[in-house]
Every structure is written in structure tokens, then in C-alpha cells.
Amino acid sequence: MLFDYEVLRLIWWALLGILLIGFAVTDGFDMGAAALMPFIGKRDEERRVIINTVGPVWEGNQVWFILGGGAIFAAWPALYALSFSGFYLAMFIVLFALILRPVAFKYRSKRDGAKWRRNWDWALFISGAVPPVIFGVAVGNAMVGVPFYYTDELRPMYEGTLFGLLNPAALFCGIVSIAMILMHGAAWIVLKTEGEIAARARRIGFYAALASVVLFALGGAILSFGWLGGYVLTSTADWAGPSYPLAKSVEVARGAWLANYMNVPLLAIVPALGFIGLAGAAVGFKTGGVERLTLLASGTGVAFIIATVGVTMFPFILPSTIMPDHSLMVFDASSSRNTLRNMLISVIIFLPLILGYTAWVFHVMRGKVTEDGIAKSSHAY
């Protein structure tokens, strides 16, 4: 039963979401902290404190990004081919920004000049702010649809441009993404620092959490009032059939993205948990409550905002604006049954190891980062 083709497709759809959530929750606070660092750190010593809160863990956190890309490549090759080619320039910008982070970490303290360090501080800002915006824009385009179609030989043809991705809905999703990542980064800084640094992070985090609540609610209103059209399957789906994206009928309809919630009202718990997480983070920032609970609430908000997108779009993965019938869906865009089965066995073996290693690293690196501690450490950034 576990290795039935339709079950494997559902499992890998869920695993892809888990990997993306893992990346957003772990590397998200790294990026948020880097984006906030020039504004929260007023002195060089304070900025070094913020850098050293993420310095020991960012490489491990970025593993989730690699895993997500690998999962798309192996489990959803059609999605990989279209997204990584159609969004090529956008992905190149993301990779450039991510490459800036380790370079800035290594080179910032090589010289004592204020201008030198300030320039690397802004490089860190770019490395933290740009990827969340672009990832949010990518999610927005997935919901709006992407201009592609398949030829009779099943060759994917993408007809979009980089600037075509910057539509209003996608830019809105980019704003939602950066707001929640800034909130999450602030929660991490509060947990790992003390004094004025933590106080400034708490103030910024509160407003970022409020902005996330408002923007998330506005996104729900946009869908509820039908201001953003969705996609609906109008033919019978063969969940156990071969991956052939041309054997179905799809229509664009107002309010279609709410169909899953209408059919299964219990799914409303997913966006509800997103709101609860965001609200809990805002309360934690405002009251100065338990710092770990604030970070947990922030991470919950981030996780369930992403999960809401997946639940809303299911079973669609990447709709087509040119030929809706050619849209990629869970049941017609996956790898073969044997590939999904063998990969699942690998995940069952190795994912617990990754989780255990990650937990061990955070346990070892627990505690506050202070200016005195950095001054005494020869390994600090």
C-alpha cells in the first residue's frame, strides 16, 4: 500500500512541502538576521554579535535548500525542467545572493577599515533580503500560472521573461515572504542576543509580525473575493496512471483556489495555524515573553503560510497560463513509481540522520552570543 503509485505521489508532494518548509524555517532566520543586521547593529561589535549568531549554523540550514532542489529534480522532473529553465535568471540572482553570504562572513573581518566592513555588511543584507523576495515572487507566479506549454513530443516550451514574472500578485507574495522572514530573523536575534541588540530586534520583530498578519489576511481576502483566478480540474484524474500532462482538462475560474477548503472544511486549520503562529510571535515580541516560544511561534507562522499555499493549490504544482490543460499536477508530473519508491527508502534512512545532526548542532551552539564572548574567541567572525 505504501508503495502504490498514487500513494507515492502524495508522499512526495508532502515531502517536497516539508523540505521547503524546513529551508524556510531554518535558513529563514539566517536570512532574516542578515537582512536586519545593518539596522539592528549600531556598532561594529553589535554587528559581529549578530553575524556570529548565524555563523555556526547557516551551512547546515542551507542543506534544506539543496535537498529541496534535489527532490524536485528526482521526484518532479517536469517541474524541475520548467522552473529551473523558465526562472533561470531569477534563480541566478538567488544563487549570487546566497554566494555573497559565506564570502561576506570570511572577508568582513579581514580588515579593520570601517568602509570595508560596511560594504560587506550590505553584502550580507543583500544575501538575506533578496532570496526571500524572489522565492515569494516564484510562489506568486506558481499561483497565477506560468506561460508554458508542451509540444506533441512533450518538449516544454516556456515563453515568459524575467520582467514578466514581476506581476502584481507575485510581487505581493514577495512582500509577504520578506515580512515573515524578517519576523523570523528578529525572533532568532532575540533568542541569541541580549541587551540593546535584543531590544531593537524585539521592536522590529513585532512590527514585522503585525505586517505578516495583515498581509496574510489580505492574501486570503484576495482569494475569497475572487480577485485572483484559480485553476480547476474538469476531467477525471487517474492518480495511478503514467505521467502524461496532456491527458486532462483544466479551466480557469474565479475562486477556484478555495475549492479544497469548500470540499474539506477541516483544511482551514492550516491557514488558521499560520495566523496563530504569527499572532503568537507578535505577542512574544511585545511582552518580552519566553524567547524560545517566540521563535517557535514565528517558525510555526512561516511553516503554515507555506503549507497554506500547497493546500490551496493541490493537486496543481505549476499551472500554465497559455494552455491550462498542460498544467503540471501531482498525478501527472512525477517520476516513475520505482524512482519514487527507491528515493523514499533513502529518505527514510537519511532524513532522521539529518534531523539528528541538526538537533545536535543547535544543542551544542545553544546560549547567548555576547560581545565579551566574541572578544575572547579566536574563531569568531
- Highest-confidence range of 49-58, 138-147, 200-209, by mean pLDDT? 200-209
Q: Looking at residue 200, what is its pLDDT?
A: 95
Alpha-helix runs per DSSP H in the chain = 5-40, 44-54, 58-75, 77-86, 88-107, 114-144, 168-192, 195-224, 259-263, 269-287, 291-313, 337-364, 371-376
Alpha carbons 93 and 255: distance in angstroms, whole number = 33
Under 8 Å CB-to-CB from 37, ≥6 apart: which residues? 47, 50, 51, 121, 124, 125, 128
Cell of 241: 496512471
Convert the pLDDT of each residue in 189-198 to its tens digit. Answer: 999 999 899 9
Alpha carbons 58 and 188: distance in angstroms, whole number = 12
Q: Is the dihedral of CA 121, 123, 126, 127 positive or negative?
A: negative
Alpha carbons 283 and 288: distance in angstroms, whole number = 8
Phi, psi of 288 (to 5 degrees): 70, 35
Cα torsion 81, 86, 88, 90 to 10°: value is: -130
Q: Looking at residue 57, what is its pLDDT?
A: 86
Q: Looking at residue 330, what is its pLDDT?
A: 92
Closest CA to 333 of 82, 50, 32: 82
Q: Looking at residue 280, what is its pLDDT?
A: 96
How far is Cα of residue 27 from the mean position of the Cα atoms in its chain?
9
Q: What rounded mean pLDDT belongs to the chain?
A: 90
The better pLDDT of the pair 69, 275 is held by 275
Report whether 91 contacts 107 (CB < 8 A).
Answer: no
Q: Looking at residue 378, what is its pLDDT?
A: 65
Report whether 35 contacts 4 (CB < 8 A).
Answer: no
Domain boundary assignment for the chain: 5-376
Collapsing DSSP states into helix, strand and coil, what is residue 1?
coil
For residues 114-138, average pLDDT: 92
Q: Is the pLDDT of residue 254 over 90?
A: no
Beta strands 250-254 and 229-233 are antiparallel
Convert the pLDDT of each residue in 184-227 to its tens digit. Answer: 999 999 999 998 999 999 999 999 999 999 999 999 998 888 77
Cell of 136: 515569494
Q: Looking at residue 354, what is its pLDDT?
A: 85
Alpha carbons 69 and 20: distance in angstroms, whole number = 9
pTM: 0.92
The better pLDDT of the pair 120, 3 is held by 120
The better pLDDT of the pair 290, 274 is held by 274
For residues 287-303, average pLDDT: 92
